[in-house]
Every structure is written in structure tokens, then in C-alpha cells.
Structure 1
Amino acid sequence: MPIDIETFESSPEDHLQNRGETNADRVMRFLASHPDQAFTQSEIRDATDVKAGSISVVLSRLEDRGLVRHKGNYWALGEADDVAAYTNMAESTRTANDRFGEEDMDEWLKHAVDDEDTE
């Protein structure tokens, strides 16, 4: 997926890596770069390299969250407010990961409270 030259020039190298990018992130980034168009699942799949067996599930989950819209065979970016909230959350997560490092789920689980311990 291309980026504009200003982003290329101004971003640190580690920000230009696709570390931890999910299929949903790829789909949202693609649709956000084409907010005035709608695409078929296969077009989105081809543009994002999401596997054929996953694209339907990814789009359905994004639709459930109001992040994409679906009509007939076509999918488009969701309404502005929902997309803005998602974008803000994703950017906050990226910033926190850049500053503090990504969470290690195994380490986190060592300290998580088990529901049985609270009864």
C-alpha cells in the first residue's frame, strides 16, 4: 500500500513498518484511502492481501462496529463519527506501543486475576 511522500520523508523508519497490523487495519486503511468509492470483497481482498477465507469475516466484524457499510456486493467506509473513533483508538494504541513497547500477552496473563480467585 503506497504512502504519500510527505509521510515517507517525515516519519521515522520504525513507524513505516507494518508491525502488528491486523487484517482489519489493512481493510480500514484501504477503504479510508478511497472514501468516495465502494468495492467488492474480492477487490478489497486483492488490494489488502487479506486471505480469501478471512475477508468476509473481517468485513462483517467491521460492519457490526459501524466501521464499514455494505450494500449488495459492495463495501465502503463507514460513517465519519464511527471511523474517526476507530482511527483515534488505533493511533493511540500505535503511539503507546511506540513509546512503551507492545504488550506481551503471556506476561500480562501471569498477572491477570482469575475469575475463580475473586469468588
Structure 2
Amino acid sequence: MSIDIEDFEVRSPKELEEPSNAERVLRFLYEHRDKAWKASTIAERSGVNKNSISAVLNRLKEQDLVRHKGSYWAITDDTERLRRAHQFHRTVQQFNELYGEEDRDEWTEASDQASE
């Protein structure tokens, strides 16, 4: 994928970041919250690889952000949960911008050392 050089010059690095697969799926399902969709259609319409969509949907289901019945998926009807998840996501992004992203390996190593 490419963008016009004018967009490249005027946009911030944040504006040029691609949304995650989970963000794409949630955005699509929220924009079409009056319907339930098959995973293959969600993948196609949200731009998520068909090989990844099941894992993405299952993670979102574990977080109670989507509902699943048979072969259909829909956004949660718990709008407060969606709002809190979105707020948490924005907060993490702000902390990452201020302090840098955390390194999972560093956390694992520190945890291992603490348990010794």
C-alpha cells in the first residue's frame, strides 16, 4: 500500500499507523451493529486476513467485546464495556507515546527473577 507524498509530509507518525486487526474488526462490527456476520465476510469487509480472522474474533469473544452464535458474529450489546475497552486502549497508547512500549521479555525476565 502507498500514500501520496503530500500525505506523508503532513501527517504525524501516529496518523500513519495502521489499525490492528482487532481494531478493524471492532470498527466494522460497530458500524454495522444492526447485523450479525459470518467470519469470512468480516475478514473481507474489515481488511483482515482470512487466516487470522478466527483468532481475532475468538480473542475479542474472550474479552466479551463480540458475541457468537452458530457461524455468526456481532458486536457486544454492552456499550459500557466497549467504551471502557476503547478508553483503556487510548490510555495505553498515550503511555506508550510518553514512556515507550513495554517489552514483554523484560517483564517475563523480571517475574522469573522475583520468583527465585
The aligned residue for residue 103 of structure 2 is: 105
- What is the match of residue 6 of structure 1? none
- How many residues align? The count is 105
SS in 2 for 1:36: coil
Given the two structures, how large is their TM-score scaled by the length of structure 2?
A: 0.72
Partner SS state of residue 47, structure 1: helix
Q: Select which of 60, 63, 69 maps to 2:61.
A: 63
Q: Equivalences for 1:1-119 in 2 at 5 Å? A: 13-14=11-12, 15-19=14-18, 21-78=19-76, 79-98=78-97, 100=98, 102-103=100-101, 105=103, 109=106, 113-119=110-116
Aligned partners of 2:111 and 2:67: how far apart in 1?
Answer: 38
CA contact (8 A) 2:96 2:102 kept: no
> Could you say if the C-alpha distance between residues 105 and 116 of structure 1 is closer, same or farther in structure 2, counting changes exceeding 3 Å?
closer
Q: 1:64: how far off?
A: 1.2
Pairwise CA RMSD: 2.7
Identical residues among aligned pairs (%): 32
TM-score norm. by structure 1 comes to: 0.70
Q: Any gaps of 5 or more consecutive residues in structure 1?
A: 1-11
Q: Distance in 1 between matches of 2:94 and 2:21?
A: 19
What are structure 2's unaligned runs of at least 5 residues? 1-9
Amino acid at match of 1:59: L
SS of 1:16's equivalent? helix
**Residue 75 of structure 1: how far off its partner (Å):** 0.9
